Structure 1
Amino acid sequence: MLFGKKPGYDPDYDLKLEESLAENKYPAEKMAAARAAEHTSLCAQVCTPEVWDKYKDVVSSGPAKWTLARAINTGVMYPDSFVGCHAGDRESYDDFKDFFYPVIEKYHTGFSMKEGSPPQGTPSERMDPARITVDLSDSAKGKIASTRIRIARNLSMFPLNPGGSRESREQVAGLMAKVYARIPADSDLAGEFFLHTDISEAKRQELIDDHFLFRGKDRMQAASGYHQYWPHGRGVYLNRAKTFINWVNEGDHLRIISMEMGGDVKAVFERLSAGAKVIEEGV
C-alpha cells in the first residue's frame, strides 16, 4: 500500500535532486534568477558561489552524511519557498556554519549565532505552566472558538528526517511506541498509537477525515527528503479524548499537539507541558 503516493516517481513524495546539484555543480543561473526576483528565499540569499565553493565537497560529520547540494535542493527547485534549505543531522548546522548560521539569523531577526541564548533547565522545565502568571478574562475566552498549541521535537540519537533512512524512521516510531505504552492507563494522556502501515484503509480515512492523520504530499518537503520511504515509520498518537496528539515522522520526529474547543489557553498549555514531560522522560 502506498497510502496516497502514486506508483513510480511522485514529486509530492519522492526526492529528486535538481540537475546541477545531482552533479554537485552550482546552479548559477537559477540562483542568479532567484536573487533578482521580487521574492528571494533565504537559501538563495546566503548560498553565494563563494559559500558553495567552500562547502561543495564537505560531508557532514553526523549520521546523515549531509551535503550542501542536499541542503539547498528545495530552494533551488522551488524558488518561491521562504527558507529553502534543510539540515540532515544536527552536525550539519556547524559543519556548514557559514551557510546555516546566516540563514538562522535572517529567519530569527536579532538573534546571534555567535552570542547565542543558552537555554536554562530541561525542555520540560522551560515549559512549566507555573511560569504563566496571568489568565485570560472570561470575556476573552468567550471569543475563542478553539485552542491548539503545538511544539516540534527531534531526537538527538537519530538523523533529522531529511537525512534519515527507512530504518531510522522506523526506529523513531518503535521508540515512541514504547514511550506511549508506558503511559499509565488512568492518565488523561493515555491513548492509542496508529501506524500508517498497520491500520486499515477505513481507519486511515477516518483519521484523515477527522484531521488527525497527516497525508504527506508536499512537493517542497519531498525535495528536502522529508517524505522518503513513505509511509514507513509514520503514525499518529491520540489520547482517548483526542485532545493530545502526536504526529510521528511527519516532518520533524515529533509534532506534539494539545487542543480543545473553547478558550482555556492555560489548560491546553498545561496538557501540552505534561505530555512533553512524559515524552522527555520516556525517551
Structure 2
Amino acid sequence: MKQLLTFSLFICMFSGAMSQQNCYWFKHNGDMKRYEACLATEKAAGHYQFTKEFQQAFDNAIKIDPTWGYPYRAKSVSYLKSGDFINWKKLMDKAVEYDTLSYLPYRAGCRFQFFRDYKGAIEDLLLLKKVTNNEMGYTPNGQYHLDIVLALCYKATGRSEEAIEVILERFKDDSYDIGIFDYIHLGVLYLEKGNYNNAIELFKKQEKFNDLAENRFYKALAYKALRQKENCLQNLKAAKELYQNNLKIHDPYQEPMDKIYLSTIERELGEK
C-alpha cells in the first residue's frame, strides 16, 4: 500500500509541475517580463495542443521572455504526441537550457519511454545525477525511479552488469520504496545472465509484493532452465490466469520493457 501511495503521489506532483503557471507569482516577485509572458500563455486555454491558437500563445510567450523554459516544454507536447522526435527535442533542449532541474528529468524519461533513445537518456540521466547529487526523482508518470530507467537503458544498450549494479545500489537506500515492476526487471536481468536461482528469489519477492503475469512467466523460464518441470508448468498456468485477469505490466502509451503477451505464455504451454 505504501508503494502505491507513493506512486500516486508522484503522479500528482508531476501533474502539478506541468500545469498552468501562477502568473501573479512572477508579478509579486517583480519579474514583469515573465509575468507578461505568463499572461500570453493563458490564451492557450481551451485550445487543443495541435491548433494554431495554442501554438501561437506559447510562441508569443517565448517572444516576450525567450529565457523561460515553460513555454518550450508546453509547445513540445504536441510533437511528443505525434512522434516527432526532432522538433520535440529542439524545444525540450531549450527548456532544459533555461531550467535544467525542472525539465531534464522529463526529457530523460521521455527519451527512454517514448522514443527509445537509450543512449540519449543515459547522457541526460548521468548529467542529472551530477546536478542533483544522485537524487534524480521519478519518471513523468511516477512509474519508475530514474535510477531504474538508467538501468533499463544500460540493459537496452548491452550493459547488463551495469544495469544490475545500478538497481542494487538503489535498493540499498533504506528510504527507497520498491517500484511496482522493479523486482521483475532485476529478475529478468539475472535470468538472461543464467543466474537462475537469484532470478527466482527476485520473482518470489515480486509475487509477494505485486504478482503479475510477467513475473510468473519469467519464473517459469528459470525453472525450465533448471529442469524443474512441475514448477515450470505451475507458474506458466499462473501466468496465464493472471494475464487473463489483466494483472500484467501495462502502459497505455507504449510497450514496456519485459512485457509479455498471452500468445507467448500459450506457446510455452504448448497450446494452440
Q: What range describes the TM-score normalised by the shorter chain of this pair?
A: under 0.3
Structure whose alpha-carbon radius of gyration is higher: 2
TM-score by length of 2: 0.27
Q: Return the structure number with greater helix share.
A: 2
Relative contact order, CA 8 A, sep 6+: which one is greater? 1
